[in-house]
Amino acid sequence: MSKYFSYLNRDIPASIVVFLVALPLCLGIALASGAPLLSGLISGIIGGIVIGLLSKSDLSVSGPAAGLVVIVLNAVDTLGTYEAFLVAVVLAGVIQLVLGFMKAGVIGLYFPSSVIKGMLAAIGLILIMKQLPHLVGFDTEAFTAEANMTQADGANMLAPVLSSFNHMVIGSLIIGVFSLLFLIVWSRPIITNNKFLKQIPGGVVVVIMGVVINSLFKQFYPSLAISPSHLVSIPVIGSMAEMSEALRLPDFQILTNLNVYVTAMTLAIVASLETLLCIEAVDKMDPEKRRTPQNTELKAQGVGNIVSGLIGGLPITSVIVRSSTNLGAGAKTKMSAVFHGIFLLLAVVAVPTIMNLIPLASLAAILIMVGFKLTKPALYRAQMALGKEQFIPFVVTVVSILFTDLLVGILIGMAVAVFYILRDNYKVPYYLDHGPSTNGDGSQQIRIQLSEHVSFLNKASLLSKLEGIPSNSEVELDGSRAKSIDHDALEVIHNFQIEAREKQIKFSMKNIPDIKNGNGAS
């Protein structure tokens, strides 16, 4: 535990920034999900404190995820009430626990880096576009989603971005642009190289300045003062009785309904995939390159969802926006996630009125900077330099996420990445060495050296090459380097041995096992 307390000077300021970003997102996702606003805050608190303490990820931050909004909306409609839906959240947590004990977390390692980087870049672009309206004071649901370009009503995200410049609120515009310029300056070497200033998170500063500037507007320039619709809005709960009344609890009578199990399984699978992808992405961004145990993370998420469902919260995943904000704010350990959850709890029970003074324009500036860091031009140049096998899946993932949603976009990117993997496997099952064009008897010498692994994916390529060998050739097939030769590939080789006699081909094999001996080279 000593390592966690030794970095509190970095983790507490970072947790404040994450808290300020998570606050409107928790409220917005609850609103978009058709759930009580308090449910979003409950899931944010559980994601920070409970999952933060159980997780072994130093930088990941969990909470309600926009990628689950459509599932939540449909599930509440199907099951009839929000209380019935909470039972599905609890069951989803149980399923995640089981997946963790079954060691299913390894699936996260099978996603190529080009797809993960494409996911990060797409989220960066979406963040920028969804926060631009709030930066200039245009009322829109920019904070309600993190991971797709399509609004809940089917409209394209570009529509509010373009129209926002015709509906600007001057006070919000001033605070938003000032906050953005301040953050740009704060990220320059003149600040980052200063031992004292680099300890102060720019996000905290711009939020405080946003509150102060708006207070000055109210005092001296009332026409520029920002209206409550452009400020953070937290439900004000004055007593424990009001808290108890506001809480929604699961209705376990729904357990007889088959739909609740279908919903639970859907939530568990989607939430687990989003979490594993987020963990993998955050680990790649971690300057210290620490690795998160995936199975432990699934167990932590399972416990978090069980608790969240039992007290009225939304389903929880590890969330890339909060996690990347946490990293960008200088967090060093998981205590940042825990403290962000504590601050959310305090905001609900102690200081909602103070929180409601924060301009959304200031928070939008923070998220725009986070988005830029995720999708900066250097990332695109670096992917292009790696070649089309990396660049094309990367770009396809970005575009697919922008125009579908997070999971569909990732699956499309994966399909393209797998195509290149299959193509490369198809092309390189062997190395071909042509000897002299002819021997004394007019035959051609050919030596085929099999590669390390020859699988069923190489069957077509190997068959095509063997069938293309001209008659009267002298062929040696060498499996000395092969660690494994798939049964399908062995069938092709041994069948060609028979065909070779008919084509007057002198065919010899070296270190090729008999087809009855399995798939290992002898």
Q: Going from the first residue of the chain to its last (522 residues), give the mean pLDDT of each consecutive group of 10, the final group possibly shorter.
A: 76 89 81 80 95 93 82 86 95 96 82 83 83 76 48 53 68 92 87 76 84 94 89 71 73 92 90 88 86 92 96 92 86 93 89 83 83 88 89 94 80 89 64 58 76 73 82 86 80 86 86 64 40
Q: CA-CA distance, 173 to 416, in Å (whole number)?
A: 41
Residues forming a β-bridge with 156: 150
Alpha carbon distance 165, 348 (integer Å): 33
pLDDT of residue 337: 94
Asked whether residue 189 falls in the same domain as residue 316, the answer is yes
- Shared domain for 359 and 443, answered yes or no, is no
Rounded-to-integer distance, Cα 18 and Cα 39, Å: 19
At 473-484, the pLDDT tens digits run 888 888 888 877
Instruction: Clarify whether residues 354 and 450 are in a common domain.
Output: no
CB 341 within 8 A of CB 42: no
Q: Which residues pair with 62 in a beta bridge?
A: 318
Structural domain total, the chain: 2
Position 491 in a domain: yes
**Cα–Cα nearest to 89, from 310, 318, 319, 341:** 310
b vs e for 443-471, b when ≥16 Cβ sit within 10 Å of the residue's Cβ?
Answer: bbbbbbbbeebbeebbbebbbebbeebee
Query: What residues make up the domain containing 13?
Result: 2-376
Task: State the CATH number of the domain containing residue 487.
Answer: 3.30.750.24
Q: Is residue 392 part of a domain?
A: no
Judge if 200 and 290 occupy the same domain.
yes
136 and 41 in one domain? yes
Q: Which two tokens stand for residue 248?
A: 């929604």
Which pLDDT value is given to residue 496? Answer: 87
Alpha carbon 279 to its chain's center: 7
- If asked whether residues 328 and 457 sit together in one domain, one would say no
- pTM, two decimal places: 0.69
pLDDT value at position 519? 42
- Domain match, 229 and 85 both: yes
| Residue pair 36/73 in contact by the 8 Å Cβ criterion | no
What pLDDT sits at residue 499? 86
Task: Tell me which amino acid residue 6 is.
Answer: S
326 and 253 share one domain: yes
Residue 301 lies in a domain: yes
5 HSE (CA, 13 A, CB side): 2
